[in-house]
Structures are given as structure tokens and as C-alpha cells.
Amino acid sequence: MNNFDYANPTRILFGKGRIADLAKVVPADARVLLLFGGGSIRNNGVLDEVHAALAGFTFHEFSGIEPNPSYENLMQAVELVRKEKIDFLLAVGGGSVIDGTKFIAAAANFDGEPWAILEKGGRNVTSALPFGAVLTLPATGSEMNNGGVVTRKSIKAKMSFMSKHCFPLFSILDPAKTFTLPTRQIGNGVVDAFAHVMEQYMTYPANAPVQDRFAEGILQTLIEEGPKALANPDDYDVRANIMWCATLALNGLIGAGVPQDWATHMVGHELTALYDLDHAQTLAIVMPSMLRVRKEGKRAKLLQYAARVWHLTDGDEDTRIEAAIAKTQEFFEQMGVKTRLSDYELNADAVEAVLAQLSAHKMTTLGERRDVTLEMSRQVLELSL
Ligand code: NZQ
Ligand code: ZN
């Protein structure tokens, strides 16, 4: 196993009714900015609960953070932060609101044009405002990690950043708040969490048996619980298990000390930036083909995955590997997330456009071995048509 530091300062408050505990974790004398999305929290009562919990606090609001949050919009919140001398941010929503809040937290303290944060992947962030989160959509893991993804619409660039200054101080996870999710977002969340585990697990053996077992446990739990959330959307226990899976999938635990891939995510981000596909839709399109094209480099782990996660032990190696990839693709489809470019009315033109953007963003040596060249990305995308 490689050397690694594992530090995660985010405090998790998990369970029914935990929003009421906001008053205990938001600093009492803070000037708070409440940040949220397009209105789901107004309709499902979450905003009322947050207001009740923050009675007596000084707070302002910024709404309208869109899915795949835009730099252009977030910079307006940065202005508000400066104008109102805000010193604490509270994100209430899904990954987009939490990511947007991380960016605002870093941009508010940043010297110079904050787009540079995305250009440098966050390496130039030296401080950020403190912030917490109330999660309403289990998917990204943003509630317990230090990464964010922001889109600059004017140039169709979707870029990510990470900084040790961008961990939430706390995150409130009340699974009951996920009951109002549309079916599409339930599926998206499960597929995104699944893909996060795969990006950290499906590489090559690295003498990391406990990370492997954790990863396989999360994958198996998502396979068991995901379809139940679609069939019985009012089942609290199912929602709770999915929520905890999504958090553990990307809080650094399973990725500590192991090689990581992320090529599927990088290609997927270009599809979202160009065609506005949901994040998880892009992963469902790219991942099965990515595994097929890179079968040789991932052979040992694909065989382990086939045996331990899908219980596929019969037949020769290539048969087991293909069966495991087919099962993965079927699972995404079962969760209601389509897996081909043509399902989203995209054709060979999209392949060329994505490759041009990958090249422009220097995404030309991706993956755990840095061997995913543009030519390999082309094979992947063509296989996904
Ligand atoms: O905007 P509102 O009205 O709140 O509606 C949202 C939005 O339309 C709705 N929603 C959220 N909670 C709800 C709800 N509707 C009903 N009931 C609820 N309880 O869901 C829609 C999608 O929300 P969004 O936050 O965009 O989804 P998600 O959590 O999947 O976040 C996606 C973003 O996260 C980034 C993605 O690239 C994308 O920009 N990611 C962030 C990562 C990270 N920080 O580590 C890693 C991921 O790989 C990913 O890249
Ligand atoms: Zn993701």
C-alpha cells in the first residue's frame, strides 16, 4: 500500500430530525449566508425547518444555485458575501449547492480572479470561509469531502478543484429529506455513488485488502438497496442506507493509499458541459465502455469484481469479465439511467466535440496508469454510441 495521509474533519449528524441541531453547530455569533437551489427545499419543508432551527441567528439567503453550478451565478453570491460581511456559509441541497458553496467559500477569500481556482485545481487556495451543509440528495459525497465542480458556461468548461480548506465543518444527513426526490434523481444518486467506488477500486491490485472489502461492501449495498428505493420510495431504512453509502463512497476512506482512475468522470464532465446531461447520465454512458476498452490493464481487479460483487465464477476469464461489465450496465439501466449516447440523441458528432474539449482541457493522459490518451477516449466514446 502507498504512503498516505487521511484527514477528514467533517462532523456528520445523521438521522431523522437532525436539522433542529443546526443551532448547536452553526457558530452563534456568525453572519450566515444560507445557499440553496431552485426551490425543492421550499416545497418540501426543509427550508422551513432550517429557518426554525436558525431562529435568533443573523442570516441572509442566496437561492438559484443550478444543477452543475455555474461560475457566473456563484460569483454573484461572492459579491453578496462581501457586501454583507458574511462569515459563515450554510449549503442546503444536493451536490451542486454544496460544491457551489465550497467555491464561494474559497473565492470570497481569494486574491485575484477566482476562475484561477478552477484552472489550478484548487492548489492556489490558501483559505476559505467556514461552512456547513444540510444534504438533500445522496450522490456526490460532497457533504464529506473537499472537492467541488464548477462550470463556466461562457466557455463550456466544467472543472474541478480540491483544497484542504474546503471540507464542510459539519453535514446534516436526514434520510427523510430524500423522500421528495424525483425518480430520476434517485437513480442518478445511486449510479454516481457506484461510479465513485469504481473509480477508486477498479484499477490494479495494490495490497489494499481492507479498502477493497470496504469498496465491495458499498457496491453490494448499492446493488441491493438501489432498486428498493425505486420500488418502495417511502422506506426510510432504504434511504438511510443509500445516503450513508454515497457519503462513504467519496469521503477519502476507500481511496486512501490506493491508485485511482477518474477517467470516466473527466470524460463525463465534458458531456455535461457540452450537452447538459445529468452528471450520473454521463457516467452510465462512459463507464461500461471504459471498462471494456481498458480490460487488459484492469484484468486482475475485473476478475475480483466479477467474483466478489457479482458472484460470477463460471467460464473463462474473458467471459466472466464481460458478464461483470454487462451486469454493471444492466444495473445502471435498472436504476433508470440510460447507458448509450444514442439514448440521449447524441451521435458521432458528439464524439468529436468531446474529444476536442478533452484536448483543450489537457485531459489527454487520464486513468490510474495515465494511459488513457485521446485515442483511447475515442474508442470508449465510439463504443458508447
Ligand atoms: O435545485 P433544486 O430545486 O433544489 O432541485 C434539485 C436539482 O434540480 C433536486 N433536488 C435536490 N434535493 C432534492 C431535490 N428535489 C426534490 N427533493 C429533494 N430532496 O435535484 C436536482 C439535482 O441536484 P444536484 O445538486 O445538481 O444533484 P447532485 O447531488 O447529483 O450534484 C451534481 C453535481 O455534483 C458534482 C457534479 O459534477 C454535479 O455538478 N459532483 C461533485 C462531486 C464532489 N463534490 O465530490 C463529485 C461528483 O463526481 C460530481 O462531479
Ligand atoms: Zn460523480
Question: 162: CA distance to ligand 2 center in Å?
Answer: 14
Query: Which of 127, 154, 177 marks a domain boundary?
Result: 177
pLDDT at 341 (0 to 100): 98
Q: Same structural domain for residues 162 and 188?
A: no
Q: Is residue 4 part of a domain?
A: no
Task: Answer with the one of 140, 157, 177 that is the final residue of a domain.
Answer: 177
**Is 114's C-beta closer than 6 angstroms to any atom of ligand 1?**
no
Q: Classify residue 6: in a domain, yes or no.
A: no
Taking the centre of ligand 2 as the mean of its atom positions, its distance from the CA of residue 145, in whole angstroms, is: 12
Q: How many domains is the chain partitioned into structurally? A: 2
- Ligand 1 centroid vs 100 CA: distance in angstroms? 10
Predicted pLDDT at 2: 81
Same-domain status, 144 and 275:
no
Please identify, by atom number, the ligand 1 atom nearest to the C-alpha of residue 195.
Answer: 48
Alpha carbons 158 and 152: distance in angstroms, whole number: 6
**Residue 53 in contact with ligand 1 by CB distance below 6 A:** no
Cβ-based neighbours of 305, under 8 Å, separated by 6 or more? 201, 202, 216, 219, 324
Per-residue pLDDT, 277: 98
Judgement on whether residues 326 and 188 belong to the same structural domain of the protein: yes
Summarize pLDDT for 89-106 with one digit per residue, the tens. 999 999 999 999 999 999
Q: Does 155 share its domain with 189? A: no
Q: Is 37 in the pocket of ligand 1 (CB under 6 A)?
A: yes
Q: How far is the CA of 188 from the centre of ligand 1 (A)?
A: 9
pLDDT of residue 247: 98
Q: 53 in helix, strand or coil? A: helix
The pLDDT value given to residue 285: 99
- 253 and 379 part of one domain: yes
Task: Judge if the beta carbon of residue 145 lies within 6 A of ligand 1.
Answer: yes
How crowded is residue 16: how many other Cβ atoms within 10 Å of its Cβ? Answer: 11
Residues 342 and 328 in one domain: yes
- What does the angle CA 244 – CA 245 – CA 247 come to, to the nearest 5 degrees? 65
Ranges of beta strands (E only) in 115-272 are 131-135, 147-152, 157-162, 170-173
Which residues, including other chains, have CB under 8 Å from residue 183's CB and lie 6 or more apart?
Answer: 230, 233, 336
Domain boundary among 177, 212, 237: 177
Ligand with the closest atom to the CA of 286: 2
The alpha carbon of 159 and the centre of ligand 2 are apart by a number of angstroms equal to 13
Tell me the CATH number at 121.
3.40.50.1970
CATH number, position 257: 1.20.1090.10
Query: Which is the closest atom of ligand 1 to the Cα of 138?
Result: 29
pTM score, whole prediction: 0.98
| Residue 100, helix vs strand vs coil | helix
Spatial neighbors of 121 by CB under 8 A, at least 6 apart, are 159, 160, 161, 162
Whether residues 247 and 119 share a domain: the answer is no
Q: Which atom of ligand 1 is nearest to the CA of 65?
A: 1
Mean pLDDT for each consecutive 10-residue tract of the chain (385 residues)?
Answer: 91 98 97 97 97 97 98 98 98 98 98 97 98 98 98 96 98 98 98 99 98 98 98 98 98 98 98 98 99 98 98 98 98 99 98 98 97 98 98
Domain extent at residue 110: 11-177
Assess if residue 163 is contained within a domain. Answer: yes
Residues 187 and 283 in one domain: yes
Same domain for 248 and 342, yes or no, is yes
- Nearest ligand to the CA of 270 is 1
104 and 85 in a common domain? yes
How close is the Cα of 81 to the center of ligand 1, in Å?
Answer: 22
Distance in angstroms (rounded) separating the CA atoms of residues 229 and 186 = 7
Closest ligand 1 atom to the C-alpha of 272?
37
In a domain, 309, yes or no: yes
